[in-house]
Amino acid sequence: MDDGMQWLVGTVLSAVISSVMTVGFLSALVTRLQIRIDHRNNGIKRVYAPGEHSRTLKKQLAEARAIQLLALSGYGFTHAYRRILTDCVARGGTVEYLLAQPGTAYMKDAAEIEGRGADSISEEVGETLKLLEAIRAFRAEHPVPQEAQGRLIRPKLLYYGREMWQAAATALLCGENLLLSGPKATGKNVLAENLAAAFGRPVWNVSMYVNIDAASLIGADTLKEGEVVFREGPVCQCARLGGFGVLDEVNMAKNEALAVLHAALDFRRVMDVPGYRPVPLDEAARFIGTMNYGYAGTRELNEALVSRFAVVDMPVIAQEDLEKLLRRAFPQLKNKWVGQFAALFQDLRDKCQSGEISTRTLDLRGLLAALRLIGHGLAAGQALELGLVNKAFDPYERQLAADVIAARIPREAGRDQLMEG
């Protein structure tokens, strides 16, 4: 990379793509992260000397509100310091760092802390930088048409998961469509929105249901000023304007309705609308399906349809990643209670996995809604009943869920006890 290189990522990329950078960089999305390349002074501004005890350094930085530089390892940070960075930003602090050259003492010191070889770290981060550059090139090559500008989104929630980000982004860059499959509360729609924002594409959200038909997807004839004209459906618009089409709960639709997408999703990349003209897909157009397998109202997807997607099996959100999500969504939530709410969600998941309760109360949207209610003055017990407990309609199951919550969160706790300010 050249001296004096411009910022690697702008506002949107720093808010979203930095999750892709988690291979060798941060393990979370950081909204105010700045990255600069500087080789004039070997890319180093020292914060600690090589060999200084890492525990001492972490203690000094644990409450820092501004971090200029931290534990360089060639072209990236070690896992031991990623959490310090993300916690600093979660507290409202800022982070800026410069990248050191490989082969320095910093690289060796960081590799020792990480427990991996310097070559492994350098190779990992190098691959990540290539992925970032590829996404930047994609955005530059495919500007958004003026007609679709209103469909650009800025996600309210960020997806945390290094491997999923890397796999999904790579598939989209290769021209593949994605099928995100996984159990409840794994962040399928969050990842779909985050990917669209990272790639800078307009979004069409299509909610699938049992009675949806081909006309609802690609469009139908309608009257306009006394003439019969073709009214584009969401899939047709998305294909023409180079958007990302999110097919929500795709396995709720009938396979015969989805069959109209076959030519659009494979190598032909075209939709032949009866009575109209063929609609070729824009080069930037992609489709992302989401599905919960085995839910009421769902059905088996046709094998021909599944073969047209790259399938991503979404893992459940780890407690550490849930804490990051809560810190970002509710920065005023005290650190102690961030851990307790994340642990509460894990307790509910354990109860579900053991068969003691159904997955009705395992609702991440409900947990976030409850925290919003607490922020507006509702007591924790009542807010969690509205967001989680009351979604179980069996009295016995409802009581079990309430007991799990009571073990973590005081029922009468209010905003003053749980949140700052």
Confidence class for position 124, pLDDT limits 50, 70, 90: low
- Determine contact, residues 312/180, Cβ cutoff 8 Å: yes
Contacts from 261-264 at CB under 8 Å and sequence distance 24+? 261/217, 261/235, 261/287, 261/305, 261/308, 262/304, 262/305, 262/308, 264/235, 264/239
> What pLDDT score does 50 carry?
36
Residue 279: closest CA among 256, 263, 259, 267: 263
For strands 76-77 and 72-73, give the pairing: antiparallel
Q: Tokens 């969600």 sit at which residue?
A: 345
Predicted local confidence at residue 286, as pLDDT: 96
Structure tokens at 25: 């960089």
Residue with tokens 């990272």: 198
The pLDDT of residue 344: 95
> Which has the minimum average pLDDT: 84-98, 145-159, 351-365?
84-98
Judged against a pLDDT cut of 90, whether residue 224 lies above it is answered with: no
| pTM across the whole model | 0.71
Q: Which range among 85-89, 170-174, 295-299, 370-374 shows the weakest confidence by mean pLDDT?
A: 85-89
Does residue 55 surpass a pLDDT of 70? no
Show Cβ contacts of residue 160 under 8 Å, excluding neighbours closer than 6 positions: 19, 27, 28, 29, 317, 321, 324, 325
In this predicted structure, the answer to whether residue 272 has a pLDDT above a threshold of 60 is yes
Is a pLDDT exceeding 90 seen at residue 308? yes
DSSP for 7-20? PSS-HHHHHHGGGG
Q: Is residue 153 a contact partner of residue 196, using CB atoms and an 8 Å limit?
A: yes
Residues 80, 52: Cα–Cα separation, whole Å:
14
Distance CA 142, CA 402 (A): 50
Give the C-alpha separation, 49 to 41, whole Å: 16
Quick one: 379 exposed, middle or buried, by C-beta within 10 A (0-12, 13-18, 19+)?
A: middle
CA distances from 131 to 168, 178, 199, 286, 294 (A): 11, 17, 12, 18, 34
pLDDT at 89: 56
Q: What is the pLDDT of residue 88?
A: 59
pLDDT value, residue 98: 37
- The pLDDT score that the predictor gives to residue 294 is 65
Task: Count the residues in the chain.
Answer: 421
Residue 219 pLDDT greater than 80, yes or no: yes
Question: Alpha helices, DSSP H only, in 94-117?
Answer: 105-114
Q: Which of 46-50, 207-211, 220-224, 364-368 has the lowest mean pLDDT?
A: 46-50
**pLDDT of the residue at 5:** 27
Query: Number of C-alpha atoms within 13 angstroms, CB side, residue 98?
Result: 18
**Residues 81-92, mean pLDDT to the nearest whole number:** 58
What does the pLDDT look like over 343-382, one tens digit per residue?
Answer: 999 999 999 989 999 989 999 999 999 999 999 999 999 9
Of 70-79, 99-108, 143-152, which range is least confident?
70-79
